[in-house]
Amino acid sequence: MSSTTGSPQHIALVAHDNMKVELLRWADHNRGTLSGHVLYATGTTGTMLEYELGLPVHRFLSGPVGGDQQIGARIAEQAIDMLIFFWDPLEAQPHDPDVRALLRIGTVWNVPMACNVATADFLISSPLLSDGYERSRPQIGPREWETPG
């Protein structure tokens, strides 16, 4: 989805269990900015964000039972503009393939992504958040080195 000046961004917020408190703190600190955008989250994270922030959050399933994949699908449909995903790289997750798939699809579709507070701070404070940003679409199809010939 490309944004236009003044359009609310569609922002997905995801956090692994031991990162939920950090995401809640970050979101609370940025509540004013987030209130002007459409928020999405996986299961428990969405419930916690909605309760703590007092803002509406579109909730998907919990990450391990398909929520990560649902957000990935929305990215591929160009319905999500930004992904804030606080995950713990030092702790293996039982649904690691889903986590990798979500990060891969975000990269393929050129979605701004933050996996830690510092990067999330840069994204949320960027003038591009409110001034508009036209994302390039991925090149889908054979690359020149894949083309037989």
Cα separations (Å) of 15 from 18, 56, 119?
8, 17, 15
Indicate if 68 belongs to the active site: yes
By the 8 A CB rule, do 12 and 120 touch?
A: no
Q: Which one is catalytic: 17, 28, 68, 98? A: 68
Among the residues of 60-127, which ranges form H helices?
Answer: 67-76, 96-108, 117-125
CA dist., res. 3 & res. 131, Å (int): 9
CA dist., res. 68 & res. 107, Å (int): 14
CB atoms within 10 A of CB 128: 12
Q: Phi and psi of 18, rounded to 5°?
A: -80, 5
Which residues are annotated as catalytic? Answer: 68
